Amino acid sequence: MQNKYIKSLRLRAIQLDRSLLLEYNYFSLLVNCLIKDNNPRVINRICRSLLEVIRINDTRVHKATKAFRDSLIRYLGYRYIYESCREKSVIKKMDINQLYGELNHPIYIQMLYL
């Protein structure tokens, strides 16, 4: 699932790491774990780390943090909707014969004549 939300989130993580002048890519690593594993603990870790970063009194860091946070929210929203729709479409995939069979079920026939 490589889309604009993932690309944006990765880019914002890199920008945040650079604004913090980190020797290693802390937020980039967390984002890659989040995308790969879809683990709620990673989301929790990211949020805790963002709370620590907000305490830094630097405008550049605050802008990068806000951009990263917004991108994270968009990605998580997209992922939630994507997975919800995917689950529903898996359940609803039936061929025409299955649908016809369900419509011929006595309960549906009764509903037609009510």
- Secondary element (H or E) of residue 64: helix 59-92
CA-CA distances (angstroms) from residue 4 to 11, 26, 31, 52, 74?
10, 21, 14, 27, 10
State pTM to two decimals: 0.73
The pLDDT tens digits for 22-81 are: 778 999 999 999 999 888 899 999 999 999 998 998 999 999 999 999 999 999 988 888
More confidently predicted of 98 and 107: 98
What is the C-alpha to C-alpha distance for residues 77 and 86, in angstroms, rounded to an integer? 14
- pLDDT value of residue 7: 94
What is the C-alpha to C-alpha distance for residues 114 and 72, in angstroms, rounded to an integer? 50
- pLDDT value of residue 48: 94
- pLDDT value of residue 82: 83
- Secondary element (H or E) of residue 71: helix 59-92
